[in-house]
Structure 1
């Protein structure tokens, strides 16, 4: 049995991070590999947590909101949710560390640079993290699966480092066509585009997972689920969009939030849900309105009706996915043009993409 070490974000207070890390490990374990997540986090990973508490326009807004959550327990919900899934859903390497030096003795058959924006310096304190470029430990093979650079071009000062590090990889795949184009400019090799790890598990597998680990919804309830990860949630466009859908469909709004304070335009606030709870919330919603890439991805995978609010600070991820599935019209779709998603063709496209990605991943490990 091959031992596989997965290097990715997994400790952020961010559902997308949790979903993709769990899915990568679950997929590999389901294929019979001894897969574990390397228990490493970047020192600047707490910036994701800070953004969750940031106010509309100012650092003072962040401080006020952060203080409120310390005083009134808002952070408690997400610590609780994080610990719940960390202890239940992950198999980790030994002690947690934040320094590459502590990883030098790790030995795997295969090291996998996992998904999410691990190659985006904006997520790692302004510099590329060599751990996410697999510059540590002992491994027979180094590969990347669905790694992302976000929506920014590779900086001149990073090109040499990335080229040198990635030359040590046996196989390279990325999540977006944008990343493929950027990397192929600096490397004389083909870069593959594969699906996000959350698609490695089918919608039915996600439903079974949620059924096993969550009893969040005991009664049939109809609602619109909103999940926002960017400052778009404060925009007049977004607020009006949600309000219009709620009034037109006659449904209450359930808002997934990182704090108890940012939104008053909802009927119910969801705080501290585990990833299994989130799957159930998406599965049972009448409509999902989200600017989150993984919110969109899971809505598609579960065959749900959704509206994708454009995340203008990081648009390529969602646009790339929806373009591939012929669903670009779901971006900022207003109520006048709203219709339920016709999944007959989408399912065919998604299954083909999934099969291509699974075949590539397995070949990269075994070849």
Structure 2
């Protein structure tokens, strides 16, 4: 079958790109003709207008680092993702996917209400990831996330209308299942992130493509948010810490290398945790909010079945990091669990 994937493949984020690549490659292995529908609104482009409108000049150093990172990620997309021509408007997707048998929305937080309301700038919403455009084929949501635990009332009916046109829906988090069920939709399942569909060797090969080398022992600290605050709080003189892109390389390959060869990892990234599980690296997750609230549910959904929620640490309890990292992990049980998750995903995608 000819399958198109709609996801945040364009985000300046390692996990977003890897989950898109993993889903593409898994479906190809199943014999399908697969491509990434290259939809990206103009308001997410790196332009002077957006630079000013989003006040990026107030954090110029962060902007320059992100721009450098995007250059590397852009190369990865061109090399590995089979993308259609680009469209910037949800309305134009329909013509682009004529002749497709199946469209898959997901994974990642593609169904977040913020994008539905403002995805194409200002008050211009976008139903692209709800597949809210003319399409005669089969609509599937795979391991989608809402990025919230309660869907906003003002957009609830709109989201429900679009989701009811899907033939199959799976979500990434348990709270997502509750949201979809509350919309009157039955037969909703929880499925693993696409990165969990692919074996260890898939990511190991990418990590080995990094040409650099770190010869010392280190703990890798990777944070998507609040890194300045985390640096001020994580002051461990007994460990050699490498932060984010300290080596000067922002590529996907270097990121995977740093996780694979670390003694341990401290992070706030869901996909970084997934890679730690695959590479057998002890880790701690630092959360901004306390408990299973907000976006924390993705960690709880992933780690609860293997009794590893003790590795989810609220930011005000960082004194427990060493205790957690020194706790042994039964990696055989982890591998069995990851294999079980993969089978769940495979069963859902067996259409």
What TM-score range do you get, normalising by the shorter chain? 0.7 to 0.9
Tell me the SS of whatever aligns to 1:91: coil
Shift of 1:97: 1.6
Shift of 1:292: 0.8
| Residue ranges of structure 2 left out of the alignment (5+ in a row) | 120-124, 314-319
Which residue does the alignment assign to 2:80?
89
TM-score when normalising by structure 1: 0.82
Which residue does the alignment assign to 1:165?
162
Distance 2:282 2:242 in 1: 15
Which deviates more from structure 2 when the two are superposed, residues 124-133 or residues 175-184? Answer: 124-133
Which deviates more from structure 2 when the two are superposed, residues 327-336 or residues 191-200? Answer: 327-336
Shift of 1:280: 1.5
Which residue does the alignment assign to 2:219?
224
Contact 1:117–1:123 under 8 Å retained in 2? no
Shift of 1:74: 3.5
Matches within 5 A, 1:259-274: 269-274=246-251
Distance 1:100 1:299 in 2: 36
Which residue does the alignment assign to 2:286?
309
Which residue does the alignment assign to 2:10?
11
Shift of 1:351: 1.3
Distance 2:72 2:88 in 1: 22
Which residue does the alignment assign to 1:215?
211
The reply to whether residue 288 of structure 1 matches residue 275 of structure 2 is no
2:147 aligns with one of 150, 171, 180: 150
Contact 2:113–2:155 under 8 Å retained in 1? no
The reply to whether residue 99 of structure 1 matches residue 113 of structure 2 is no
CA shift digits 1:324-345 (9 cap, x unpaired): 3221011224213432422122
CA shift digits 1:67-106 (9 cap, x unpaired): x467xx5345213212221211111012x12112221212
TM-score when normalising by structure 2: 0.85
Distance 1:274 1:154 in 2: 34
Contact 2:115–2:126 under 8 Å retained in 1? no
Structure 1 184/46 Cα, relative in aligned 2: closer, same or farther at 3 Å? Answer: farther
RMSD: 2.4
Shift of 1:160: 1.5
Contact 2:3–2:103 under 8 Å retained in 1? yes
Shift of 1:159: 1.9
Distance 2:117 2:249 in 1: 26
Structure 1 205/74 Cα, relative in aligned 2: closer, same or farther at 3 Å? Answer: closer
The reply to whether residue 25 of structure 1 matches residue 27 of structure 2 is no
Contact 1:151–1:317 under 8 Å retained in 2? no
Shift of 1:323: 1.2
The reply to whether residue 136 of structure 1 matches residue 133 of structure 2 is yes
Matches within 5 A, 1:270-349: 270-312=247-289, 314-332=295-313, 333-337=320-324, 338-349=326-337
Distance 2:260 2:327 in 1: 18
Contact 2:6–2:106 under 8 Å retained in 1? yes
Shift of 1:240: 6.1
Structure 1 32/215 Cα, relative in aligned 2: closer, same or farther at 3 Å? Answer: farther
Which residue does the alignment assign to 1:63?
57
Shift of 1:139: 4.1
Structure 1 81/344 Cα, relative in aligned 2: closer, same or farther at 3 Å? Answer: same
Distance 1:171 1:282 in 2: 34
The reply to whether residue 189 of structure 1 matches residue 186 of structure 2 is yes
Distance 1:205 1:18 in 2: 14
Which residue does the alignment assign to 2:317?
none
Contact 1:204–1:302 under 8 Å retained in 2? no
